[in-house]
Chains A and B, each alone.
Chain A
Amino acid sequence: MACLSSSRLCARVQDKLMCQFGPKVRRQTVFVKLKPPGPSPLRIFGKTCQRVTTCGPACGSAGGGAVAGAARRLASSLQSTSTGSLPDYGTQIVDPYRLLEDDLNGIYEDIRSELERNTNQPELNTIATYYFDGQGKALRPMVTTLMARAVNYHVYGENSALLPTQRQVAMISEMIHSASLIHDDVIDQSDFRRGKPSVNVLWNHKKVAMAGDFILAVASMMIARLRSDEVTLVLSQVVTDLVQGEFMQLGSKETENERFAHYLTKTYRKTASLIANSVKAVALLSGADENTCELAFQYGRNLGLSFQLVDDLLDFVSSAQAMGKPTAADLRLGLATAPVLFACEKYPELNPMIMRRFQEAGDVEKAFELVHKSRGLEQTRFLARKHGVEAARLAAELADSPYQKGLVVTTDLVLNRIK
């Protein structure tokens, strides 16, 4: 218990520090010290201090100044701890999906049959399995499986295999993701997802909400069957984070600094937490030491943040056809994502629009245009790349294996995707 909570605390702290660009950082450290230290206090404080020193000067000089500037400085301070560019993984390019073909093969079928086994109501089965049609990117199962194999290799060497429990976690990660998508669809009233009508268009909302609960319940039973207290705790954290992220999305902050911090925390909770905790869960299952589990978690967290930043970027640049959902959707939902937040540095007139959640006529179009005129998209890509680079750096610390290379390549895939 103690060791787990300490590592989670550590993750929380890092997350908070990463997010708090403003003068709040110092207060955060005080908060950290008040918490019970856990079994390895040195490590926590070591990490905390390191973060504060890398981030402190930037924050001190920023003093609540321009968000973008602070972000850039933070990013460059991050860079100083990393290799600076993506490590050279040789001429041989690893395609993670091909590498894991055997592992991922049939994963959707397995999820579908797991759901089917758990209900005798045909309609419930239809709704619950709707998004498990194999059309998704299966990013979460892929990263989870990749990390599982990379960590197994790291711990046990060449002859290690994927544990059945680890594959279960890969399935669970996709199920939790889909359950949250289904509830998002009801909340956002979206019409299309993954290039087909979304669930709330086809079935009534009560049933759709129930189907989301059902998927979560089945996933929860699968988690329980892994019979690992630690893994259950780690994965239950994901569900809490998802809901808290959704709550954060309902509100917005007054000042620019708070707003960016709010945005990053929300992004962690809504997207990165699932990836981070799933890869941590497979690392725990492989029996890796605490440091390796933490490394896996941080990899997932950075990859997740990078992924969501790119997603927010694509909402502005990609075509509706490529995404399988309408573009500028976030603006229409009243959400100010990174590109807008960066853009308001140059165009302060965006501030009132953000505050009124782009509700007035013409707001969406105007904001869209201003974002394109500003350097917001570029800055968002820059921040996404920084997190990608950090993830790649962490992956490079694992023992050299095709899977470890795959983890590095994945950070590139996430950055360069077009949908």
Chain B
Amino acid sequence: MSLSRLRSVVKCDFVKVRPSSALLSKLAPCAGREVSTSSTRCAVAQQNTKPDWNRAVSEAEKIVGYPTSFLSLRWVLSDEIANVALHLRKLVGSNHPLLKTAKNLLYNGKNNMQAWGLIVLLVSKAAGHSPEIPDMEQDKAAGVLHSQRALAEVAEMIRTSHLVHKGLVNMNVRQVLAGEPDDMLFGNKIALLSGDYLLANSCTELANLRNQELVELMSSAVRDLVEAEFLGDRDQQNNPLPSRPLPEDQRTTASEWDCILSPLPMAGVEGCARREWAARHVLAAGALLGKSCSAALKLAGHKPALQTQGYLFGCHLALAWQAFLDLEAFTGPEPASFSLVGAPLAFTLEARPELYSYIEAGKKSVHDVDYHALYEAVLSGGGIQRTRQLQREHSGRAREVLDCFPYGDARTALANIIVAMNA
């Protein structure tokens, strides 16, 4: 997407949203329901939105009570956020990607923020908790523990913080291009601080749970997210590029990720389409969701074996989800651009290594890539087919885990979400 187009998109969004909720949407991605439901009108315009998904999610939300806690309210009332709100106004009209990040957090259909905390809460409810936990610590109506709700918030805060930090502009590269370095500099400052604020808050929330194994696990998820940003080749704005596909005989065996507290081993990953795709998205998404689910089960006093199942569920679900998002680009009308590290393209490149020259054209900026040519190549090859297969595998693995949980409404809701994703 070209910068000018991006700008108009951002601008028009700010026209649509009322001023008060504009602030909310920029600051509190998990903001109140009102904001995001009013935004569904915008989502209707999105062509790929399937009603099944929205229904699955909104029904699931009813099961665990309100989607997240009153985190949003707390944010709006905090001094720091009031401060950022003032500063952010100055950014409206500039083309700093922080605005786009803020927008995506709310409007990005299936990838929206609520869904992440929601999954953690649903897994919490589906698994239940040990009878020894005192009534005081339970949210009886919703069937989850207060600590699990806090954990769901932490998961969302970590994810949001990461997305916000990812949205920084590389000034040293851009300065030559942009006529307005001040806006960019200021936007970076606000983005960095807002992300730090969320990260600091998640540290405090975690510390308050008084469970050090949990702190360690969730901190390792933050580390994984960071690692994801360093995996493989990048353009100058740090947008990821796929690695050059390795011929079959040069691939080495990949090592297992035995201990999820250690960093993901990278041996035999790069240049091997499926593994590279998995490693990238496990680090960028699966680890956080998986570790959050696992941590939620730990809080409920479940055995380590079930905690591991929780981790696997989150991880597979995130990968299935990612495969689904990757496919979206190829199911509707041809998009202006799409992820270069998506599974359909990765499989296509592996089958036809000569296409890699198109990728190399994007070394400076992913905007220089000939998306049309790659799009055609993906459509004519087996990439989409193999991605569907990949998505089915991960959904299947996630569903298998669900069978460990007792039958109940939360388990059904999780199953429905998986089905809606496959639709």
Which of A101-109, A132-140, A219-227, A370-378 touches B?
A: A219-227
B246 within 8 A of A: no
- The listed residue (B87, B170, B210) touching A229 by CB distance below 8 A is B210
Task: Provide the residues of chain B in CB contact with A228, threshold 8 Å.
Answer: 212
Question: In the assembly, what is the distance between CA of A207 and CA of B229, in Å?
Answer: 7
Which of A54-62, A232-240, A392-400 touches B?
A: A232-240
Q: A189-B185, A236-B207 are in contact. Are A224 and B238 (CB under 8 A)?
A: no
Task: Provide the residues of chain A in CB contact with B215, threshold 8 Å.
Answer: 220-221, 223-224, 232
A130 within 8 A of B: no
Question: In the assembly, what is the distance between CA of A200 and CA of B170, in Å?
Answer: 9
Binary per-residue interface labels of chain B (140-170) against chain A in the complex, 1 for a CB within 8 Å, 0 otherwise:
0000000000000000000001100110111
Q: A121-B227, A187-B192, A225-B212 are in contact. Are A220 and B222 (CB under 8 A)?
A: yes
Q: Is the CB of A124 within 8 A of B227?
A: yes
Q: Is the CB of B189 within 8 A of A187?
A: yes
A110 within 8 A of B: no
Binary per-residue interface labels of chain B (184-199) against chain A in the complex, 1 for a CB within 8 Å, 0 otherwise:
0100110011011101
Q: Which label, helix, strand, loop or mixed, suits the secondary structure of the A interface?
A: helix
Q: Which residue of B lies closest to A209 (CB)?
A: B165
Total interface residues on B, CB under 8 Å, equals 56
A206 within 8 A of B: yes
Q: Is the CB of A210 within 8 A of B226?
A: yes
Count: A-B pairs, CB below 8 Å: 158
Task: Provide the residues of chain A in CB contact with B192, threshold 8 Å.
Answer: 183, 186-187, 209
Determine how close the nearest CB of chain B comes to the CB of A173; give it in whole angstroms. Answer: 15
Task: Provide the residues of chain B in CB contact with A207, threshold 8 Å.
Answer: 229-230, 238
- The listed residue (B189, B212, B219, B229) touching A210 by CB distance below 8 A is B229
B213 within 8 A of A: yes
B231 within 8 A of A: yes
Question: In the assembly, what is the distance between CA of A218 and CA of B173, in Å?
Answer: 29
B108 within 8 A of A: no
Task: Provide the residues of chain B in CB contact with A189, threshold 8 Å.
Answer: 171, 185
Q: Is the CB of B172 within 8 A of A243?
A: no
Task: Provide the residues of chain B in CB contact with A151, threshold 8 Å.
Answer: none
Q: Is the CB of B170 within 8 A of A233?
A: no
Q: Which residue of A lies closest to B211 (CB)?
A: A229
> Which residues of A from 358 to 390 have beta carbons under 8 Å from B?
none
Determine how close the nearest CB of chain B comes to the CB of A232; give it in whole angstroms. Answer: 5
Question: In the assembly, what is the distance between CA of A118 and CA of B207, in Å?
Answer: 21
Question: In the assembly, what is the distance between CA of A119 and CA of B203, in Å?
Answer: 21
> Which residues of B from 219 to 265 have beta carbons under 8 Å from A?
219-220, 222-223, 225-227, 229-231, 236-238, 261-265
Q: Which residue of A lies closest to B207 (CB)?
A: A236
A255 within 8 A of B: no
B216 within 8 A of A: yes
A213 within 8 A of B: yes
Q: A119-B223, A187-B188, A204-B173 are in contact. Are A221 and B216 (CB under 8 A)?
A: yes
Q: Is the CB of A227 within 8 A of B220?
A: no
Question: In the assembly, what is the distance between CA of A232 and CA of B214, in Å?
Answer: 12
A322 within 8 A of B: no
Which of A32-40, A244-252, A302-310 touches B?
A: A244-252
Additional A-B contact list (13), CB under 8 Å, known A187-B189, A216-B222, A236-B207: A119-B263, A121-B266, A124-B227, A204-B172, A209-B195, A214-B227, A216-B199, A224-B215, A225-B216, A226-B212, A233-B207, A236-B204, A236-B206
20 contacts between A and B (CB under 8 A): A118-B263, A119-B227, A120-B266, A186-B188, A205-B169, A205-B171, A205-B188, A206-B166, A213-B222, A214-B227, A221-B216, A223-B215, A224-B213, A224-B219, A229-B212, A233-B208, A243-B80, A243-B200, A246-B193, A250-B87
Q: Which residues of A contact B (CB under 8 A)?
A: 1, 117-121, 123-124, 183, 186-187, 189, 200-201, 204-207, 209-211, 213-214, 216-218, 220-221, 223-229, 232-233, 235-237, 239-240, 242-244, 246-247, 250-251
